[in-house]
Each structure stands twice: as structure tokens, then as C-alpha cells.
Amino acid sequence: MKNERSYAIITPSFAPDFERCKLLCSSLVKYVKPPYKHYLIVDQRDLDLFKQLKTPENELIAVESVLPNWIMRLPFARKWWFNFKGLPIRNWIVQQIVKLSMAEHVHEDVFVFIDSDVAFIRSFDFHTFEHGSHVRLFKIPGGGNIESHYKWHRAAAKLLGISPQDYFGARYIGNVVTWRRENVLKLHQRIAEISGRPWIDAVARQWNLSEYILYGVFADQVLKGESGHYDVADNICHEYWTPKPMDRAETDRFVAGLKRDQVAVMVSAKAGVNLDQYRDILIRCENKSIDDSKDLNYIKS
């Protein structure tokens, strides 16, 4: 019997998203085939709250335990961290550092990044991400060509030591994003070689960064055929990114737009959708997935 790849779900969260994270954890138990390990990464101050979610599958990791001792939280400052080596670090950059650091703290073969505003609504097996020896890389050629994202493409080029571009030809940002742990370790080494300093030091000096673009560009432009990935443009997560609540008509359109191959739903926490409406959306999407399955079985018969 061959050894199967191990999967780590990685979910950064914080106290305001606790109830959503709780729904995510419940949906994983209900719909996602084990085995997997789910790492919940939260601030030290939120650990007591999130201990309610600790199970044999769910492990809690404090953000502070992942960071080097020269990066410390500034009291009463939510958007900045103290940096003993230089200027204060944006919280946005610290979030990227934490995700990139996980390869040094957990040892599963494949990382699946799932934010706490995602929930599964259909049965799913992470091993469907595999194609022979290769693992899925979410990549939409021609997607993500947005001016506000150009700074992230330029930052990736700088860290990787490749010719700068405003856009590397694809969208890598999404939900249920998969990385290979061995590639992340290679990425650390590449950044250190290019910058001449430890990789965290180099990343901490950035003002703008997207971890998903950085990894995607590294896989495509540096590792190339050695990345161990195959590209997939199909988005298995039905998404709502707009930073405003949905009215009834928009909710109806969102639920109706769920595709048969989409196994999860994401309604951005920034949309301001209250918890009751969010639960209702998930229930309606689950019911639609059941109806879709009945229709599909009818057609096949």
C-alpha cells in the first residue's frame, strides 16, 4: 500500500470571526473526508476563546509562537507590530509571514489554506487534489489582472530575484488554496539567497505582499516543471467578495449561482453579513446542493 499524502488545513482567525470559524469547523467534520489536521492560528489573547474548538483534529497555534522574538505586538495597536530590526511591520505583512512560516512548524505534505469565512456544503476528499505525483495549484490564466494587485506582483518579483512585472499573467488568489510544504521551504531558501538575509527579515521589510501571488509566481517562474503542481482554473468555492451586505435579491442570486462542482461557500467577513443571514445562506446552499444531486442522479438514470 502506497503512502498517501498528508493534508494540513490552515485557518488564521481572530475573536470577531469566532462564530464563523466554528461553522467552518462543523462543516469540515460533516463534509470533508478524514484524515486531515486542522491548524487554527489565532492571537495569544484569543486562545482561551478558541479552545472551545480544540479537538483531536483541530490544533491551536498562537501567532506569537510562530513569529521570531524580534517581532512583537504593539499594545493597543491593531494594524502594526513592533520590529526590533527596523520600522514597525504592518499587520497585513505579519499575516503573510505567519502563513509562510507554517512550513517550519507543521509537517504535513500539503497545506490547504481555508479562511474562517468559508464553509463546506458538499462532501469532499482532499485527495481529489492529486493528479499522479502532482498536486493542484489554483491558477486562472488571465485572471486577477487588476491594477490594485500589481504591487503584489512587483513585490513577488523583487523577493524572488526575477525580472519585475506588474502582472505575471494569472490569478492565484482564492479560497481553498493548496501549497506543497517542500516548495514553501524552497521559497524560504530562494528569498534568503536573493536578499542576503533570513527570509523573514526580507519579507518583514516589504510594504505590500500577497502570499498567494508570491507562491504562485515562485511555482511558475522559478520552479517551473519541478513544482510538483498541475494548474486548475475551476474554483471549487462559491464566493462573495463585495464589501457590502447582500439584500434579498442579491442573496437569491448568490444561492442560485452555486455550481454543481463547488463544494464550499465564502461570504467575505468584510461584507457585513450578520451571522443569522450567513447561516441562512449556508443552509440554502446546502439544500441547493442536495437538489442538484437529485437532479444529476435523475439525469444519469
Domains in the chain, start-ordered, CATH in brackets? 7-235 (3.90.550), 236-301 (no CATH)
59-63, 82-86, 163-167, 200-204: range with lowest mean pLDDT? 82-86
Residue 250, pLDDT > 90, answer yes
Cell digits for 156?
513577488
DSSP single-letter state for residue 4? P
Predicted local confidence at residue 240, as pLDDT: 95
Read off the pLDDT band of 293 (50, 70, 90): low
CB 214 within 8 A of CB 242: no
Measured distance CA(89)–CA(80) in Å, rounded: 6
Mean pLDDT score, 190-215: 96
Measured distance CA(215)–CA(181) in Å, rounded: 11
CB 138 within 8 A of CB 239: no
For 159, phi then psi, to 5°, come to -65, -30
Predicted local confidence at residue 247, as pLDDT: 92
Mean pLDDT score, 259-277: 93
Residue 267, burial from CB neighbour count under 10 angstroms (0-12, 13-18, 19+): buried
CB 46 within 8 A of CB 14: yes
Closest Cα partner for 39 from 74, 79, 6?
6
Measured distance CA(225)–CA(267) in Å, rounded: 35
Measured distance CA(203)–CA(278) in Å, rounded: 35
Closest Cα partner for 137 from 234, 262, 211, 209?
234
